[in-house]
Structure 1
Amino acid sequence: MFFGCRYIERYQCNRWWPRRPDMLRRLQLDHKNISVLLNILAAQSGQLATGGAVNYRVMMDVLDYMQSYAEHSHHPVEDIVYRRLAAQASLNDLSERLFEEHKQLTRITEAFHTTLNLVLNDNPVPIDRLKEELENYISMQRSHMRYEEEIIFPLLKQYLVEADWECLADECQQQLTDDPLFSDNIKRDCQELRSLIKGSEFVD
């Protein structure tokens, strides 16, 4: 796995530093970037459905990114932010739903990663299984992000004030890591994926 869990740089956040990261904007940018990756996976799904050429290495690169960054930075930051939202707005049911969805996304990412490993190691995998896992993965990721964008992010704007975000910047220091793909600090192994990312057809 080329990304691993080695992060290049941490944002230095403290409540008195005026240039602390805009955390909500960061979460929104992460969603935009993940949407691009899901569009790339959707294009591969279309190739599978029509019997076209499928780039399994690119698909694996996307899964590696999701495991190394989304699950070790993006979702942990969201979990911390949502706990504060739940406390401020008495929305424990919503936060519990999101925590559970994050766990579920981790499980389906691992399962699909295992399937792709089989394919890349020339083990037989039924095409119907591959298509179903890929389509379910895309659907669940998109549904989760859509719920956050349409329901949760507006609530964050409504209930959390500047002091909350300042405290959250402190609490999330370890989780606020540099994006290993959508930045200049990127490894050679994923140049093909990055080339696809630059393709305007994958940007919503």
Structure 2
Amino acid sequence: MLVDSIHRDHRNISRLLRLLTDKLAAIRSEQPVDYGYIRDTLLYLKDHAERCHHPKEDLIYHYYLTNYADTEGVAALDEEHETLAALTAEFAISVDMILMDSVIPLDVFAGKLTEFVEQQQRHLELEERSVLPAIEKALTAEDWNYLQSQWEEEDDPLFGEQVAARFKALAAAM
């Protein structure tokens, strides 16, 4: 079912956020950090989440808004997805700068990483704790069948059956 794949994506994104939290702890304790894992996490989020995951959610959310009352503030999620995409792109620039040996104070980078992780976690919690339960309660089997017919699932390049070459190191690190 379509909603099951969203929950699965959320669990996978949460795993990546835990990896980023571990990297943040290492940065704060001045331990060596492989910033390539942070870059690869952002690449995955930019590729999969923004190209596949959020559009899948948006399909469901727009259908819900068209056919049901917006009791959980679902309409605000479009803007939140745009904000998260911008935050991801901005943070990716900082990671790229570090990987190109630019000097960024670690406390500044740690602050950006903290903000990124917290925003992502807050968004996932909002969807999992209030938005998706309300939608799951409201939508009928017929609604879900219609939505499923409108969506073609793509292979997940990190958590799917076949890990893409560019994510093999990240997959091994998790």
TM-score tier after normalising by the smaller chain length: over 0.9
Q: Quick one: which amino acid aligns to residue 75 of structure 2?
A: E
SS of aligned partner of 1:52:
coil
- Shift, 1:70, TM fit: 0.3
Q: Provide runs of 4+ in structure 1 moved above 3 Å.
A: none
Which amino acid is the alignment partner of residue 178 of structure 1? D
User: Paired residue for 1:188?
Assistant: 165
Larger deviation, residues 44-53 vs 183-192: 183-192
Q: What whole-Å deviation, never above 9, does each CA across 1:41-67 have from its counterpart, x for those lacking one? A: 000000111101111000000000000
Q: How many residues align?
A: 174
Match of 2:80 in 1: 101
Aligned-residue offset at 1:87: 2.3
1-structure distance, mates of 2:166, 2:159:
14
Q: Is the 8 A contact 1:86 1:94 kept in 2?
A: no
Q: Which runs of 5+ in 2 are unaligned?
A: none
2:91 is matched with 112
What is the Cα deviation at residue 170 of structure 1?
Answer: 2.1
CA contact (8 A) 2:40 2:167 kept: yes
Letter paired with 2:49: A
Q: 2:42 aligns with which of 63, 68, 76?
A: 63
Q: What per-residue deviation string (whole Å, max 9, x for no partner) do you get for residues 104-160 of structure 1?
A: 000000001011111111111121221111000000000000010000111122111
Report 1:1-204 matches (<5 A): 22-91=1-70, 94-173=73-152, 176-197=153-174
Counterpart-to-counterpart distance in 1, 2:105 and 2:76 = 33
RMSD of Structure 2 on Structure 1 (CA) = 1.3
Cα deviation for residue 93 of structure 1 reads 7.3
In structure 1, the gaps of 5 or more residues are 1-21, 198-204
**Structure-2-length-normalised TM-score:** 0.95
**Which secondary structure does the structure 2 equivalent of 1:148 belong to?**
helix
